[in-house]
Amino acid sequence: MTRQSLNQLRVSPLRLQQGLFASLALMVTLIGGQQFQHWQQSQQQVPQFERPAVTQTHFRSVGSVAADATAPQLRMVDQESSLSELPSQERWVF
């Protein structure tokens, strides 16, 4: 690949400087416009929505009302077996 110099492209240093300045001016204008728009939006009053206080009494989400009908229910275990009948757990002492 051959590189062409600025002389072969017929771009004068003045044109190059003007192009770079125009690019800089455009960039500064766009950034300034974005900052102005952000400033205007921050000056406007944002409507505040009040949320009703929801107290959750169980670990399931509030929206799972339909799942409550099919959820398994906890039952009391029959206390017929005594503690002596339960298998003892091994204990490790170091």
- Please report which confidence band the pLDDT of residue 69 belongs to, taking 50, 70 and 90 as the band edges: low
More confident residue, 28 or 92: 28
For position 82, what pLDDT does the model report? 62
In this predicted structure, what is the pLDDT of residue 44? Answer: 81
The 10s digit of each residue's pLDDT in 14-66 is 999 999 999 999 999 999 999 999 999 988 866 666 777 666 665 655 555 55
DSSP secondary structure string for all residues of the chain: -PPPPHHHHT--HHHHHHHHHHHHHHHHHHHHHHHHHHHHHHHSPPPPPPPPP----SSS-TT-HHHHHHSPPP-PPP--S-GGGSPPPP----
Q: What is the pLDDT, as a whole number, of residue 37?
A: 94
